[in-house]
Amino acid sequence: MKNSRQILINLERLQLKMEAYGVDAVVARAGVNFAYLSGVTYPGTLARHLDLADSPRGTYLIWPHRGEPRIVLNAIAEGVTRRDSWVELIDVYEGYVEPPVERLAKVIADMGLSAATVGFERNYISAEDWDSLHSHIPAMRMVDSTTLMDEVRAIKTPAEIELLRRGANILDEAYAKVFRTIRPGLRERDVHAQIISECIVRGCEFVHGILNSHRNTIPYAGESDFVFAGGDAVRTDYVAYLKGYPGHQSRCAVIGKATDEQRRQYGVVRDLYRASMAQCRVGNTAGQVYEFVVERFAAAGMKYNSMLAGHSVGCWWHQQEPIISRGNPRRLEAGMVIAMEPHVNHWHIQDMIVIREDGPQLLSDKFSTDEFFVCG
């Protein structure tokens, strides 16, 4: 691998997990694993070809337990991959002519893995490609590596944490700047466009999220021509990717003069949120944290209906295991980064925290959540 590139991945944990699961190699096809193992975050169309399992220009990475990793890709993805990846061995096939999985089979054989145990993402490799690989390399034992890779990615390296911190700072800087401009008469899409623009200008490659008035009761339907009015509470939930790693926070605002009732409601949710965040400690299960959230909200007279109260974050896609959800047995470990977001209605506060042996550590402190932001 290139000595000139800082390798972000947890190499020691990857090797240990491969040994524990008894695999000689893992093949990455899903964006979360390919981006993680390759160091490449494809833009635009190249990203869609990585995400769509039936793409005729699919991209693969083979990481052996011993030896150098190799990438299989189409010619259009070659330039950015050679520039950005720490992986040096690249095999190029002709898209729309040669089926990607056939070149993958050839490379696996060339790497001496024809009779090995190789892990594939069973939740991502199509049934057709799975059968094709089996027919081309019948002696290869194909196993599911989805959980293996989830467990590897869950513990962040210091370099990953620093990227997450930088992304979080960019997003909070964008919130602070744009919130100052919100006035009655602006549409949701006007303000949403400003948030996206500020993050891109500050260095992010890709940004998505929501920004709605509390009077718009379908918050995840996309920003629209809905017009803000004085007294509106503003709900947000954004993800800003910096070199593939997400800044991911949610901030609250009120347009114009806030009421005492709005301040009271926010204070109640804020205190419950902080108490819940403090439960993200080494040894607790994700399910236990979720149950704490449900119980504390119920004690405050509020029914908690959300299917999750938080989630881990990582390269390429922000919602990763462990998910803070009902009954999830996954135990929290030191080095995990969790985005906690227990909320009711439009009072949606969210921060990323690093789980340390002595408790959770906030990643970004550039935007205080002590009170909501007052616009205007």
What pLDDT was estimated at residue 159? 96
Helix (H) or strand (E) holding 38: helix 31-38
Helix (H) or strand (E) holding 151: helix 146-154
The SS3 assignment for 16 reads helix
- For β-strands 308-312 and 320-325, DSSP reports them as antiparallel
C-alpha closest to that of 350 among 362, 359, 360, 339: 339
Instruction: Enter the pTM of the model.
Output: 0.95
What pLDDT was estimated at residue 219? 79
The predicted-structure confidence for 94-117, as pLDDT tens digits, reads as follows 999 999 999 999 999 999 999 999
What pLDDT was estimated at residue 70? 98
What pLDDT was estimated at residue 218? 86
Name the stretches of the chain with pLDDT < 50.
Answer: none
Q: Can you give the three-state secondary structure of 361-376, one letter per residue? A: EECCCCCCCCCCEEEC
- For β-strands 253-255 and 373-375, DSSP reports them as parallel
Question: DSSP for 228-281?
Answer: P-TT-EEEEEEEEEETTEEEEEB--EEESSPPHHHHHHHHHHHHHHHHHHTT--
What pLDDT was estimated at residue 5? 74
Q: How far apart are CA 329 and CA 350, in angstroms?
A: 23
Helix (H) or strand (E) holding 106: helix 100-110
Phi, psi of 81 (to 5 degrees): -70, -45
